[in-house]
Chains A and B, each alone.
Chain A
Amino acid sequence: MASIEQLKRTPLYAAHLEWGAKMVPFGGWEMPVAYSSIIDEHTAVRECVGLFDVSHMGEVLLAGPNAETALNHLLTNDVRKIAVGQAQYALMCNEHGGVIDDLIVYRVEPSVYLIVVNASNIEKVFSWMNSQASASAVLENESDKTAMLALQGPNATRLLADSTDISYFHITRKSVFGRKCRVARTGYTGEDGFEILCDAADGVAFWTELLRRGAECGIKPCGLGARDTLRLEMCYPLNGSDMNEDTTPLEAGLGRFVALDKGDFIGRDALLGQKENGIERKLIAFKMAEKSPPPRQHYPIVSDARRIGEVTSGAQSPTLGIGIGMGYVEADAAVIGTKIGIEIRGRKYAATIEKKPLLKRTKTQPVL
């Protein structure tokens, strides 16, 4: 629920209202949940192209000759593998291996890293990085100066034809519509697309121009409602729901982003111990086997009349036409193909544990 302090607004707030957005509180921000319909916006991204304002997310710059070492100590993945212009998904853990945030690192220059963090965690991540790394690297929180838009869908490349030279999970400086920006070929939807980072003052101009150019192919402005159903179909975890400081990347099935062999990093000892002893719970994906109310966070997951876990994220999948979700279950019970039940308002509905992702996208499917 919204706190007593004023919710923050992105540079595109007025544009959202102009486009008919329904605004809701999210992680301390007042954001559009939808403009027309969550399902229509979701479908537009899968079949055409959609545009999201993601300016609420945070941008932290880490620079200096020791930047790589400092960052490698903070994150689970091996940042030494990132070439200049390349991006990497990583987790930032506490000493217990619990997830502080999941984020994308972009190596924008040889000794400069741009880290995009979750909106609700900006202050927490920046202050954690400051306390751990400021002795060895220069840190700047650029979030307030930066706007970010995500253009996602099979037609994204038609609207940014000059950016098709940017390969998947790479970023570069560009001049788009006569304005300077960074364009990254990343996203949170499972579709091909771009994320544009620009000066806060230019956010509205990019938004307006993209919607204008995309009008003839059916572009839609898309809100957080569609953002959530899109990422859930891909089984991309949402920090705060599917992961938090009490869950580890190994429990979440993100072991391939944890480079235990790279040397020491915060949380390594705990994660090494967990790898050796085995995890006790695992984040699984499930699909409902019958018509049901939408699965939602905290609904019990049962098997053989025994509660084995809890839903962390759930929704009616617009593309699959059935309920889907993710949740932690006892590790022994986390077997693909297992028939489980989801308890909704006291009644058990049948579901099956499925392989991730729940949706296969043929075009540039991200590795998450």
Chain B
Amino acid sequence: MSIPKNLKYTRTHEWVRVEGDVAVVGITDHAQHELTDIVYVELPSLGAQVDTTKECAVVESVKSANDVYSPVSGEVVAVNEELDNAPELINDEPYGKGWMLKIRMSDPGELGELLSPDDYSHHIGA
């Protein structure tokens, strides 16, 4: 199970890559493996305000619909439009081409609450 060292993680299987004041967000390799084939992705609109307490996106696999929670609060500044026609990118490259959204963080301090790669690894029992 791939858990890149340069990312931060949540208990609900999202990852964050920090690029300045922007957080790039997606779901982990463990998550895509559990879901099997992803067939539909619903992403928020640009400019939407997201926070850590409610879902910001939906990932649907053949077998289930799953809420994605934002690891940080802020404004959505980009969404991965390729997922519209190729939702399976999340299965193929969960950390690369399968990225989901970019958030301009309103409180970078929230990053401190996220899990390190080792913590996430323990969390999923890897």
Contact = CB atoms under 8 A, between A and B. Distances in A.
A293 interface: yes
Contacts of A132: none
A223 to B, nearest CB: 9
B36 A33 contact: yes
Contact of B39 (A22, A34, A316): A316
Contacts of A316: 39-40, 62
A38 B42 contact: no
Contacts, number: 41
A38 B63 CA distance: 10
Contacts of B33: 22
A39 B65 contact: no
A104 B34 CA distance: 33
A294 B60 contact: yes
A315 interface: yes
Nearest to A315: B62
A33 B65 CA distance: 16
B40 A38 contact: no
Interface string B72-107: 000000000000000010010000000000000000
A345 interface: yes
Contacts of A33: 36, 63
A46 interface: no
A37 B65 contact: no
Nearest to B34: A22
Given A294-B62, A315-B62, A316-B62, A37 B40 contact: no
Given A293-B42, A293-B58, A345-B58, A37 B63 contact: no
A294 B37 contact: no
Interface residues of B, number: 14
Contacts of A225: 36-37, 62-63
A292 B84 CA distance: 11
Nearest to B41: A293
A73 interface: no
Contacts of B40: 292-294, 316
B5 to A, nearest CB: 26
A88 interface: no
A229 interface: yes
B13 to A, nearest CB: 16
Nearest to A39: B37
A296 interface: yes
Contacts of B34: 22
Interface in A313-348: 315-316, 345
A193 to B, nearest CB: 22
A34 B33 CA distance: 11
Interface in A23-68: 33-34, 37-39
A24 B88 CA distance: 21
Interface in A104-136: none
Contacts of A294: 39-40, 60, 62, 65
Interface in B2-31: none
A37 B58 contact: no
A296 B65 contact: yes
Contacts of A296: 65
List the 10 closest pairs (A to B, CB-CB), nearest first.
A316-B39, A38-B37, A293-B40, A38-B62, A39-B37, A34-B36, A293-B60, A37-B37, A38-B36, A225-B62
13 contacts: A22-B33, A33-B63, A37-B37, A37-B91, A39-B88, A225-B37, A293-B40, A293-B42, A293-B65, A294-B39, A315-B62, A316-B40, A345-B65
Given A33-B63, A345-B65, 18 more contacts: A22-B34, A22-B36, A33-B36, A37-B36, A37-B37, A38-B36, A39-B37, A39-B62, A225-B63, A293-B40, A293-B58, A294-B39, A294-B62, A294-B65, A316-B39, A316-B40, A316-B62, A345-B58
